[in-house]
Amino acid sequence: MDAQFWDERYRSRDQLFSGAPNGVLVTEVTDLPPGHALDVGCGEGGDAHWLARRGWRVTALDISPVALRRAAAGGADVADRVTWTPVDLTRTAPPAGAFDLVSAQYFPLPRQPDHTALRGLLDAVAPGGTLLVAGHDLADLPPDRESDLDPHDFYQPHDIAGLLDRDWTILVDETRPRTAPAPAGTHHTHDTVLRARRLR
């Protein structure tokens, strides 16, 4: 799932995602005061645009230059509030302690024995800041599903919750019904959600 994989996936359709912000983000962030947000795996920019229009400054990361070009073109009204950044988070960590919100919505971060990439994301949350991670409930996957990718090879929100230390307080660690219909051709009816606040 490198840059070429994602570029080809985005090129396969004029628009891969709806353009609307993810429901978990809207539910969990609406009441937070705007600050500096990191949108991890921003895709075509729906979440970053929504955050910027609510007063956030956003650093939006994605491995796919195709996705980032689409995202920038779709957010001309908030161009001064969003920085679109190509990055492979398995190789490059974001700035430590720099963000009031780190949001990873359905982001496929591969598990690593030393958790280097994940720890880079956790370290990016400033003291007092919020970590928000949403995933698809793996129980929704059909038992006869065939795929080259095993979803268990990627971090799930509850896995991340188990790795947080006493510098964090967990506010939400649950499975809940989706607030919007699942993408066409998928079977996702529930989200898994982690929301945590960094204490120090």
Alpha carbon distance 13, 189 (integer Å): 24
pLDDT attached to residue 55: 98
CA separation for the pair 118, 187 (Å, rounded): 27
Per the structure, the count of domains in the chain is: 1
Q: Digits of tens for pLDDT over the chain (200 positions)?
A: 677 876 687 677 777 666 689 999 999 999 999 999 999 999 999 999 999 999 999 999 999 999 899 999 998 999 999 999 999 999 999 999 999 999 999 999 999 999 999 999 999 999 999 999 999 999 888 766 566 678 889 999 999 999 999 999 999 999 999 988 776 667 789 999 999 999 99
Tokens of 109: 């971060």
| Confidence (pLDDT) at 133 | 98
Beta strand 82-86 with 99-105 is: unpaired
DSSP 47: H
The answer to the question of residue 91 being in a domain is yes
Task: Note whether residue 20 is domain-resident.
Answer: no
Over the range 8-44, which residues count as b (16 or more CB within 10 Å of their CB) and which as e? eebeeeeebbeeebbbbbebbbeebebbbbbbbbbbb
Q: What integer pLDDT is reported at residue 186 of this predicted model?
A: 73
Q: Which domain holds residue 80?
A: 34-198
Does 12 fall in a domain?
Answer: no
> Which residues contact residue 103 at a Cβ distance below 8 angstroms, ignoring those fewer than 6 apart?
25, 29, 37, 38, 39, 40, 47, 51, 132, 133
Cβ neighbours around 56 below 10 Å, total: 24
- The CATH number assigned to the domain holding 132 equals 3.40.50.150
The pairing of strands 57-62 and 168-177 is unpaired
Does residue 156 form part of some domain?
yes
Closest alpha carbon to 67 in 54, 82, 85: 85
Beta carbons of 173 and 194 less than 8 angstroms apart = yes
Structure tokens, 177: 């019904």
| Predicted structure pTM score | 0.91
Tokens of 106: 């359905």
